Structure 1
Amino acid sequence: MSFYAVIWRYTDDTSVIDGARAGHGAYLKELVGQGKLKEAGPFVDGTGGVLVVEAAGQDELKTLLDGDPYVSEGVVVDQQVVEWKPVIGPFAG
């Protein structure tokens, strides 16, 4: 299993964000329940957010991210993914 830091930038269209918010929140709770999503939250200015995901590899990560309503409903307009190695804190091995 690997950890990934995912940085999302959101659309400026607040109606798109508002329409996907409930589904997005429910989906993230599912991922937490599965042990896949470790941390998530928006930027204070509302322009995007960060997720920390544990996945078996890039293919699983892509499937998990593509299943999020923020992706499928067009909220996410830019995505950066970096494999991450925690060395200090609760996720460090």
Structure 2
Amino acid sequence: MPYFVAILEILDPEKDAQILDIHKAYLQKYIAEGKIFAKGPFTDHTGGLIIYQTNSYEEAKTLAENDPVIKENTRKMIFKQWKSTLPE
């Protein structure tokens, strides 16, 4: 199954902090469904990274675009397909 990466950069720190719990709850649903491979903040506190593992680019992009931090414009997103080079 392919991987897709969302790099999320914080645009509005105050508003972002207000919806952080909603963002985490949104992601938890897809972690439980196995559609998120990894996630976490950058150590410089400028945003975070989410690695989706879904059947298609379209599915992963839809999940990423419906994240509350994107819908509320507290973060901007770079979204790309990613290929691991580690042996399986």
TM-score normalised by the shorter chain: which range applies?
0.7 to 0.9
Structure 1 residue 14: Cα displacement = 2.1
Q: What letter corresponds to residue 26 of structure 1 in structure 2?
A: A
Q: Secondary structure at the match of 2:73?
A: coil
Structure 1 residue 41: Cα displacement = 0.7
What are the Cα deviations for residues 47-75 of structure 1, in whole angstroms up to 9, with x where unaligned?
A: 11111101222211121012211111111
2:24 equivalent to 1:8: no
1:85 maps to 83
Structure 1 residue 44: Cα displacement = 1.0
RMSD over aligned Cα atoms:
1.5
User: Distance in 1 between the 2:75 and 2:56 partners?
Assistant: 21
2:29 maps to 30
Identity %: 28
Q: Which runs of 4+ in 1 moved over 3 A?
A: none
User: Distance in 2 between the 1:56 and 1:44 partners?
Assistant: 30
Q: Secondary structure at the match of 1:44?
A: coil
What are the Cα deviations for residues 13-52 of structure 1, in whole angstroms up to 9, with x where unaligned?
A: 3221112101001011111001001111111111111111
The alignment's TM-score, normalised by the length of structure 2, stands at: 0.87
Which consecutive unaligned segments of at least 5 residues does structure 1 have?
none
The alignment's TM-score, normalised by the length of structure 1, stands at: 0.83
